[in-house]
Amino acid sequence: MAKFLFVLSRGMDDPVRATRCIHLATVAKKEGHEVSVFLIDDGVNIARIGMVDHMKSPTGDELKGLLDYLIKEQVPILVCTPCADARHMGEEDLVKSARFESAKLLIGLAVDAKVLTF
């Protein structure tokens, strides 16, 4: 099986891209691949508790259910620390399985993974 790294820089301002990223991460996980999600820029808001409750794509994919699946499967949801700091996010704001990480880890993960960016 392959390793996939999904990098999401869009958040509430682009529900189509945000939903598609998490949807494809879910598909990869269900196919048995190793999956990580790294949230940067406005994408960090996806990891904020309650923010995705009503987001969906025009195709009807609902972000909350997709994200809940990744959380249940303990897929790492990595949140850029400075991006989150700029948006006044603390650990208490994060969904389960999300944690703050650095750009150094993002690059380290990218070395050995197929990277998809949204």
Domains in the chain (CATH in brackets) are: 3-117 (3.40.1260.10)
pLDDT in tens, 6-30: 999 999 999 999 999 999 999 999 9
Rounded (10°) CA dihedral 114, 38, 75, 65: -110
With a pLDDT cut of 90, the percent of the chain lying above it is 97
Q: What is the mean pLDDT of residues 35-59?
A: 96
Predicted local confidence at residue 112, as pLDDT:
94
CA distance 29 to 85: 29
Backbone angles phi, psi at 42, to 5 degrees: -70, -15
Predicted local confidence at residue 74, as pLDDT:
97
pLDDT band with cut points at 50, 70 and 90 for residue 46:
very high
Encode 77-99: b = buried (16+ Cβ within 10 Å), e = exposed: bbbbbebbeebebeeebbbebbe
